[in-house]
Amino acid sequence: MQITSKFTIAVHILTCIDVFSDNVRVTSEFLSGSTGVNAVIIRNVLTQLRKAGIVSTRQGSGGAHIAKPLDEITLYDIYKAVECTDESGLFRFHENPNAQCPVGRNIHKAMDGRLAAAQSALENELHGVTLADVVEDTKKIIAEE
């Protein structure tokens, strides 16, 4: 599978921005502390989110802010913004199955449609969940601690 941790890092970042931005300047260093991820990676993810119009950032210590209402940002938007997969899709096949083997020469035919359907199901699920849903759930869980 090709989904990297950038997707979950991005969701974590966006949730932190919403939860903390009223009380704290949410910088890459602050986000690094919450995610446990190097601040350079945080800045790279923030750049991708900014290019997608999901966040706004200011140079220096201005912090990050969510650029549009949470209920208008789907997990699919975030997934696409951080480019978790390349044009070959979510699943990558091994490159050299043996054409002399009956399984090797036919495995693509048996699997390609199923893998495309699995990717489609994932993407459809991501379309149905907004950042507002995740933030709301996160705040409820925090309140129950």
* pLDDT tens-digit series, residues 54-106: 999 877 667 899 999 999 999 999 999 997 666 667 787 788 889 999 999 99
Q: pTM of the full predicted structure?
A: 0.86
Domain parsing of the chain, residue ranges:
6-144
**3-state percent breakdown (helix, strand, coil) of the chain, nearest 5:** 60, 10, 30
Across 3-12, 91-100, 104-113, 123-132, which has the greatest mean pLDDT?
A: 123-132
- Residue 120, number of CB atoms within 10 A of its CB: 11
The whole-number average pLDDT for the span 40-59 is 93
pLDDT band at 4 (very low <50, low <70, confident <90, very high): confident
Give pLDDT, residue 48.
96
97 Cβ contact partners less than 8 Å away, ≥ 6 residues apart? 103, 104, 105, 107, 108
Q: Tell me which of 1.10.10.10, 3.40.190.10, 1.10.3130.10, 1.10.3720.10 is the CATH number of domain 6-144.
A: 1.10.10.10
43 Cβ contact partners less than 8 Å away, ≥ 6 residues apart? 28
